[in-house]
Amino acid sequence: MISDSLDRGLRSYGLGGKLRALRLRKKMGLVELGRHTGLSAAMLSKLERGRVHPTLPTLLRISMVFNVGLDHFFAATRTAYGVVRARERLLFPERLDGREIAWEFESLDFAVTERRLSAYRVTFPAAPKRLRVHSHEDAEFVHVLSGRLVVTIGGEAQTLDPGDSIYFDAKVPHGYARGDGRPCAAIVVTTPA
């Protein structure tokens, strides 16, 4: 008997479905596959339906019949996800080239490896004495949660209120400033270079 967490982890690979797909692609029945692997048709059926998890030697026997490696069952098919609990996030101040804090950010997706985007909750503690601009590759999306945010892109300022969003080419120099005296927070999503 395996633990619930191990069971969930093994199920995430979809081994049974992959096994069934290989067998059906070869137009092979369970009895015929059993003759090639030395496993009973009943055991193979349980494996395909996810009632039991195969051992590595069993999976290797099956993979040899279909001329695939073990990586066929484990590679690039898992759903990539990560849960980031609010209590796990860390707040990082961004000073850019000055001493005063331009903004503070929390990564909302640090638990995911090989991300296709990066999401942050950003707070703007005070209006900067001077606008600090920066640029980076790809695109950026900003959605204001609270307060008023002024986003300056290529020298043109856009004022955003709660619920407003903006998408732009992040290669263009851009900067942020709080638009009034109230606290300001936004979700910022960037696409990594």
Per the document, the length of the chain is: 193
Per the domain annotation, does 79 fall within a domain? no
Q: What is the DSSP letter of 86?
A: G
Encode pLDDT of 23-56 as tens digits: 988 888 999 999 999 999 999 999 999 899 999 9
Same domain, 132 and 163: yes
Per the domain annotation, does 81 fall within a domain? no
The pLDDT assigned to 144 comes to 97
Same domain, 8 and 70: yes
Same domain, 177 and 94: yes
Q: Residue 37: enclosing H or E segment and its boundaries?
A: helix 30-37
Question: What CATH code is carried by the domain that includes residue 33?
Answer: 1.10.260.40
DSSP calls for 112-154: -SS-SSEEEEEEE-S--SS---B--SSEEEEEEEES-EEEEET
**pTM, rounded to two decimals:** 0.58
Domain residues for the domain of 157 are 86-190
162-179 average pLDDT score? 94
Same domain, 22 and 102: no
Per the domain annotation, does 14 fall within a domain? yes
Question: How many domains, the chain?
Answer: 2
Cβ atoms of 186 and 144 within 8 Å: the answer is yes
Question: What CATH code is carried by the domain that includes residue 90?
Answer: 2.60.120.10
> Of 74, 107, 134, which one is at a domain's C-terminal end?
74
Same domain, 28 and 99: no
Cβ atoms of 141 and 164 within 8 Å: the answer is no
